[in-house]
Structure 1
Amino acid sequence: MDDVVSDDQGGMLRFERVLDAPVETVWAWLTEPEKRKLWFADGPMDLHEGGAVELVFDHDHLSEDDVPYPEDAIRWKGVTSRERVVTIDPPRLLAMTWDGGKNGVARFELTPEGAGTRLVLTHTGIGDPGHRKGTAAGWRSHLAVLAGRLSGHPVRDFWKLHAESMKAVFGG
């Protein structure tokens, strides 16, 4: 798993992963709610510039095992985020607002790499350093779930993975 590259001055996070699936398959996992909910969040996405994106977070779908929410995370169950598509070029590029644009833009770029896909996620415009670290841990965890789903090795316990990501990002 590649670690995050962060630019503390510009509020930027960058992740790179080589995923075990062709670009078209990865695109489907980014854009189709039934697939996206298995690694990130459910909800419809209007696939055009300016299109509405609804992200419904339910981490019960992320673990292979039946793993309950930790007490400090239960408040996030069912939270819905309403975003907008900023840029789209199927199946290579998708960028959307984050926190209604208050915390920048998440941009996914897909390029073929052998039989797989190189995914570059760049999240810009996250002003608060603490929020940036929390977002980094979240993206790190969710991308690991995506990689596991695509390789046939799903994550058994998302919350354990997320705790490891928090340690990696915050130290300790």
Structure 2
Amino acid sequence: MTLKHSLGTQTAPATLRVERTLPAPVERVWAYLVDPEKRRTWLAGGSMAAAPGGVFELRFQHTELSGEEAPEHYAAYRKTHIQKSRVVRIEPLKLLTITWGSESDTASEVTFELSPKGEGTQLVLTHRRLPDRKETVSVASGWHAHLEVLDDVLHERKPQGFWTNLSELEAAYEAHVR
């Protein structure tokens, strides 16, 4: 397998960090984080909250990302998967932190940090409070695959097989995660 982007890294036992340089200005990348219609093209639609404490819904429709149906291993994701999240911190055009998997205070958290980099945007995604190695491998490969879709969308290319890519990334992260 040849990776388009480098693998994320564990910065602590329960923390994953993924960095990408994206081919769009910060304003455009920010819109793909907070505008549910834009976000659904690479991650999940649903709703969005505008202030800390606000609960919102992520509606995952993975087949729509690249047109590839989930293989048997991921059959549960052939249907819409709904997840509640909560905004923890928001600084427009700079930082967004949300809970992941639930809106509770004990849920894991994802932070998206954006900064200009030339004509593009440097994205640093940090996912904290991952409960175990299995979840870390799953989350790492999932974020990697979703960010590759975002890169394709921002380049105005048709995203390639999400599930095929995810399966290959899971194997790479299985060997990479401690």
> Deviations for 1:32-66, whole angstroms, at most 9, x for unmatched residues?
11111110011101111111121111112210xx3
2:38 aligned residue = 35
2:126 pairs with 1:122: yes
Aligned residue among 44, 50, 55 for 2:53: 50
Letter in 1 for 2:151: A
SS at match of 2:172: helix
Measure the CA separation in 1 of the matches of 2:128 and 2:164: 27
Measure the CA separation in 2 of the matches of 1:47 and 1:54: 13
For normalisation by structure 2, the TM-score amounts to 0.90
Query: Unpaired segments of 5 or more residues in structure 1?
Result: none
* Residues 108 and 122 in structure 1, CA contact (< 8 A), matched pair in contact too: yes
Aligned residue among 83, 108, 130 for 1:104: 108
Letter in 1 for 2:16: L
Measure the CA separation in 1 of the matches of 2:23 and 2:119: 7
User: What's the offset of the Cα at 1:154?
Assistant: 3.0
How many pairs align?
169
> Deviations for 1:95-127, whole angstroms, at most 9, x for unmatched residues?
000111444100000000011000000001002
**Equivalent runs, 1:56-71 vs 2, <5 Å:** 56-63=59-66, 66-71=67-72
> Deviations for 1:66-90, whole angstroms, at most 9, x for unmatched residues?
3222112121231111010000000
1:154 aligned residue = 158
Query: Unpaired segments of 5 or more residues in structure 2?
Result: none
